[in-house]
Structure 1
Amino acid sequence: MNKYLAIALLIVGVSCSKNTPEVSKESNVMLEEPIVKTVDSAAAGKHEGLALIEGADCLTCHKTDARLVGPSYQEVADKYSEADMDYLAEKIIEGGQGVWGQIPMTPHAGMSKENAKKMVEYILTLKK
C-alpha cells in the first residue's frame, strides 16, 4: 500500500508543480514608431531618414540597389521627385498595391508624416 501511496503523491506533486505557459493573446496594437535622435544620426554620419528606415521593418522588403519583395530604393528615387514627397510619405503610412506589382506594401499607420517624409527624403538622395 505504501508503494501506491508514494506513486500517487509523486504524480500529484509533479502535476501540481508544472507551470502552465502563459498564452499570448493576439493584438492589433501597432508597435511604437522607431525613435531616432537627430544628434545620434548626425554623429554616426547617417541621414536621419536612413536611421528611421533601419529602425523600422522597411529592409525586410526593400534594398538600396536591388529588388527584394518591393522595389529598390534607387528604383523609387529614379521614378519620383521631390514634388512627390507627400504622396510617397502617405504610401509609407497607408500602404499600397499595384504601382510596383501585386504584392501589397504593409501600412505603417503608427508612423508620423514627418518621419515618413524624412525616409522619402533619404530615398530621393539615391537618384542616379
Structure 2
Amino acid sequence: MATFVLSCGQKKEENNEQDNVSTINSEATTNEGMKSDTPEIAPEFQKGADLIAANDCLGCHKVNEKLVGPSYKEIAAKYTLNDIESLTNKIIVGGKGNWGEVPMTAHSALSQDDANEMVKYIMSLK
C-alpha cells in the first residue's frame, strides 16, 4: 500500500511538471498559432524555460506580470548581461530587498549551470 501511495505521488508530481512546461510554452503562442504578448522561445533559451517550468519559479513569477515576485520581463529590463552571474547566484542563494520585502527562496539544489540557463532565458525577454 505504501508503494502505491508513493508511486501515485510521484506520478502527480511528474504531471505537474509537464503542466508547468505546457504553461510556459503555451504563453509563447496561442492555440491558433498567433503570437501572444510573450515572445516565442528561441531554441538556445529553451533549456532555461524548461528548468523554470520544472521548478517552483512559476509560483512566484510570471513572464509579463508581477505575481509574488517581479515578472521576468521586469527583471530583464532592470538588469544587464553583466548581471548574469549575480542573478545566477541569487537564484541559488535566495535574497531579499531588491524588489521589496518579500524574500526570494533559495534554490540550493540547482546547479550553477542550470541557474545560469534560467537567467539567460529571463534576460532573453528584454
For 2:78 and 2:99, how far apart are their aligned partners in 1?
A: 11
Q: Which residue of 2 aligns with 1:86?
A: 85
Write the distance in 1 (CA, Å) between the matches of 2:53 and 2:108: 17
For residues 68 and 58 of structure 2, the distance between their equivalents in structure 1, rounded to whole angstroms, comes to 10
Name the structure 2 match of 1:63: 62
Specify the alignment match of 2:100 in structure 1: 101
For 1:47 and 1:77, the matched residues in 2 are separated by: 16
- The structure with the greater share of residues assigned to helix is 2
Amino acid at match of 2:75: V
Runs of 4+ aligned residues of structure 1 deviating over 2 Å after TM superposition are none
Q: For 1:32-51, what aligned pairs fall within 5 Å after superposition? A: 47-51=46-50
Q: Which blocks of at least 5 consecutive residues in structure 1 are unaligned? A: 1-33, 35-44
1:72 matched to which residue of 2?
71
Give how far 1:69 is off: 0.2
1:81 Cα deviation after fit: 1.3
**Secondary structure in 2 matching 1:47:** helix
Alignment: residue pair count: 84
| CA distance in structure 2 between the aligned counterparts of 1:81 and 1:74, rounded to whole angstroms | 12
Q: Distance in 2 between matches of 1:47 and 1:83?
A: 21
TM-score of the pair, normalised by structure 2? 0.64
Q: Deviations over 1:80-100 (max 9, x none)?
A: 111111000000000000000
- State the partner residue of 2:23: none
Using structure 1 for the length normalisation, give the TM-score: 0.63
Unaligned runs of at least 5 residues, structure 2 = 1-16, 18-42
Larger radius of gyration: 1
- Measure the CA separation in 2 of the matches of 1:85 and 1:79: 12
Summarize deviations over 1:54-97 as a string: whole Å, max 9, x none: 00000000000000000000000001111111000000000000
